[in-house]
């Protein structure tokens, strides 16, 4: 499948759609999933226009996974999670719905189940507050790269 520049994440990267951003650098962007499966559900994307994981140059993958680890630490701290689940869906058959490669960061806690994938939008005020908590954790003492 060829990359299409009209996908929602490409629009977020260009600033044509809003997003609750938590981290950005030259190569990557992290923002809140608009239909979170759990509180704190965050997405990390490379700026490189790749459809899926198999399409992403190794160098961009390295940068994206490093940022994913850093943001995951902040998410774990911000939501006092017991664990972190990462998800990466490549291809419609795997459940991918947005065709710009991304990693899902899902904070997990004992006894809290995941909601359905890409189903129920969260209130913007709630997402804004969650993004604020993660940004705060990213500059806090738990972030070794602060
Ligand atoms: P996937 O099915 O792995 O491609 O995941 C796409 C994710 O993007 C889903 O979890 C959606 O809830 C999420 N999503 C869709 N549109 C937006 C948007 N405009 N901003 C943030 N997240 C979005």
Q: How far apart are CA 138 and CA 75, in angstroms?
A: 9
Q: What would the pLDDT profile of 43-78 be if each residue is shown by its tens digit?
A: 999 999 999 999 999 999 999 999 999 999 999 999
Is 3 part of any domain?
no
Average pLDDT over residues 119-126: 96
What Å distances lie between residue 81 and 49, 58, 67, CA to CA?
31, 30, 18
Number of domains in the chain: 1
Is 117 part of any domain?
yes
Is 145 part of any domain?
no
Which of 6, 13, 15, 33 has the most ligand 1 atoms within 8 A of CB, as the residue to mutate? 33
Is 2 part of any domain?
no
Average pLDDT over residues 81-91: 98
Residue 144 confidence (pLDDT): 65
CATH assignment at residue 59: 3.30.428.10
Is 1 part of any domain?
no
Alpha helix positions (H), 1-146 = 8-13, 58-78, 124-138
What domain range includes position 81? 8-138
């Amino acid at each position: 499948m060829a990359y299409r520049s009209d996908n929602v994440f490409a629009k977020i990267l260009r600033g044509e759609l809003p997003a609750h951003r938590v981290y950005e650098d030259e190569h990557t962007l992290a923002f809140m999933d608009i239909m979170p499966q759990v509180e704190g559900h965050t997405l990390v994307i490379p700026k490189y226009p790749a459809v899926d994981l198999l399409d992403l140059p190794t160098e961009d993958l390295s940068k994206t996974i490093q940022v994913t680890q850093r943001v995951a630490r902040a998410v774990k701290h911000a939501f006092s999670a017991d664990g972190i689940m990462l998800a990466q869906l490549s291809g419609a058959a795997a459940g991918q719905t947005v065709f710009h490669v991304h990693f899902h960061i899902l904070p997990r806690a004992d006894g809290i189940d995941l909601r359905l994938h890409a189903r129920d939008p969260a209130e913007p005020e709630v997402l804004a507050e969650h993004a604020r908590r993660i940004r705060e954790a990213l500059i806090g003492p738990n972030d070794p790269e602060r």
